[in-house]
Amino acid sequence: QVQLQESGPGLVKPSETLSLTCSVSGDSISTYYWNWIRQPPGKGLEWIGSIYYSGSTNSNPSLKSRVTLSVDTSKNHFSLKLTSVTAADTAFYYCARGSPYFDYWGQGTLVTVSS
């Protein structure tokens, strides 16, 4: 059974960097694409970006200048860094498997941007 689990700080100060990791179990990260998707509380879904095990990435142009995606095949996990955060970046952050459709998702982690 494929499982994804997000981890990272739940509170980040404005202008700082949001860092999250998604640990994958039940599947090798050296297959498929792996994604980050976010959802502000009570609102809709926004795709942040995807990464392949080779390190090839694709990001949403609306966030691209602030997003860094990385993958660690030895740990079977992948990570997101989002720089210069503001209150608008407060959201549930999900990691998900697949491209172009997302068939397995983590439970999500709420990241609040506040001083």
Q: Which of 59, 72, 110 is nearest to 89 (CA)?
A: 110
Q: Exposed e or buried b for every residue in 13-50, given b needs 16+ CB within 10 A?
A: eeeeebbbbbbbeebebeebbbbbbbeeeeeeeebbbb
Question: Would you say 15 or 31 has its CB closer to another protein?
Answer: 31
Write each residue from 86 to 105 as x if it is in contact with another protein (CB under 8 A), else as -, in one continuous string. --------x-x--xxxxx-x
List the one residue from 44, 54, 74, 86 that touches another protein (CB under 8 A).
Answer: 44
Closest approach of another protein to the CB of residue 16, in Å: 25
CB atoms within 10 A of CB 53: 17
State yes or no: residue 62 binds another protein (CB under 8 A).
yes
Question: Would you say 27 or 46 has its CB closer to another protein?
Answer: 46
State yes or no: residue 41 binds another protein (CB under 8 A).
no
Cis peptide preceding 40, ω within 30 of 0: no
The residues binding another protein (CB under 8 A) are 44-47, 60-62, 94, 96, 99-103, 105-108
